[in-house]
A = this chain, B = another copy of it.
Amino acid sequence: MPLWDYHTPGIPDELFERIEEVPITKEDIRALAICKLRLKEGNSAIDIGCGSGSITVELCLQTMGNVYAIDFDKKAVELTKKNLQKFGVKAEEVIQAKAQDALPRLPKVDAIMVGGTWGDTKQLIELAIGKLKNGGRIVIDTILIETMYQALTAVNELELNEIDITQVTISKARKVTTGTMMLARNPVMIISATKA
């Protein structure tokens, strides 16, 4: 039986292989980001900054289409491959490179997830949008004010449609001896838009 045979996204974090040095997009933010990509069966997608590969796995499960994952970090690429195998899905390619270097040779796709950026964020987002088919969706997750600003600037300048900017702050319950307390996580900004 496959590890996740549900129709809905939002795989619990603990089902993924993890290592300390490689970040993971946590369950709730990941579920929201995947939903904002508005995926269909057969869609193709690129996951930029795939980290642990949790988004890559969800993209594969939701689309059953061609999914490309990119990360600069060798450990992230290895971990993504391990997680794809764990969930019994296959990405078209898991590429160890800077996104700026890998994107030009990839085909146009229906959905692009930007989970991590380095170097010139605005330029990267412009490059990514260039790889989107018309009507395709881009989702940018960020915790950095600088990325937020540059992503917003790029999205506004390129005159995308259905722009949605959502800040999400999650708290999770923890049992303590005297009751149940809520532990706060950091706010995450999710920027999403449709290419005209």
Binding site for B on A (CB under 8 A): 5-10, 12, 28, 31-32, 34-41, 62-63, 152, 162, 164-173, 180, 182
Number of copies: 2
Q: How far does the alpha carbon of A170 sit from the alpha carbon of B164 in the complex, in Å?
A: 12
Q: Is there an interface contact between B39 and A7, defined as CB atoms closer than 8 Å?
A: yes
Residues of B within 8 A of A28 (CB): 32, 166, 168
Q: How far does the alpha carbon of A55 sit from the alpha carbon of B116 in the complex, in Å?
A: 32
Residues of B within 8 A of A6 (CB): 38-40
- Min Cβ gap A16→B in Å is 16
**Given A7-B62, A41-B7: A170 and B173 within 8 A (CB)?**
no
Residues of B within 8 A of A9 (CB): 8, 35
**Given A8-B37, A8-B38, A32-B31: A171 and B180 within 8 A (CB)?**
no
Which of B40, B180, B182 is within 8 Å of A5, CB to CB?
A: B40
